[in-house]
Amino acid sequence: MKIDLPSGAWVEIREDLRAADRFAVQAVASVEVGGGAGEGRTRASFLEMQNDMRNALLGRIITAWSYPVPIPENGLAAADVVIGNAMDLDDYAALEKAVEPLMDKIAGRQAADPKKPSSD
């Protein structure tokens, strides 16, 4: 799927998600909430975790883009760094909105299929 962005740039992504995509995205969602005796507490940012998960997915599903840098693929570079340096905030916000249904699917929050009969 090709996504046109506000700057005139574009990104192509694959939409056919695999179980491995879920495993990789969910692997970045880890939080340490407290240390041992005398060690202080570790802070965690929910928004940072959401960004990390989204960028992990984007690093797996971006197949092409119009930016003058290589796409973040195969773990060659951290997706958040490549994407963060290539895109302005308006482009990232548009991409974020476009991939939200895929993030919902990764999280198991996808909408019910209207073709399937309900179990009511």
pLDDT tens sequence across 20-43: 999 999 888 776 666 656 666 666
* pTM listed for this prediction: 0.78
Select the more confidently predicted residue: 90 or 109: 90
* Whole-number pLDDT of residue 61: 95
Q: Return mean pLDDT, the chain.
A: 84
* Whole-number pLDDT of residue 49: 84
pLDDT tens sequence across 9-22: 999 999 999 999 99
Exposure string (b/e) for 90-114, b if CB count within 10 Å is 16 or more?
ebbebbeeebeebbebbeeeeeeee
pLDDT tens sequence across 59-73: 999 999 999 999 987
Q: Three-state SS for 111? A: coil
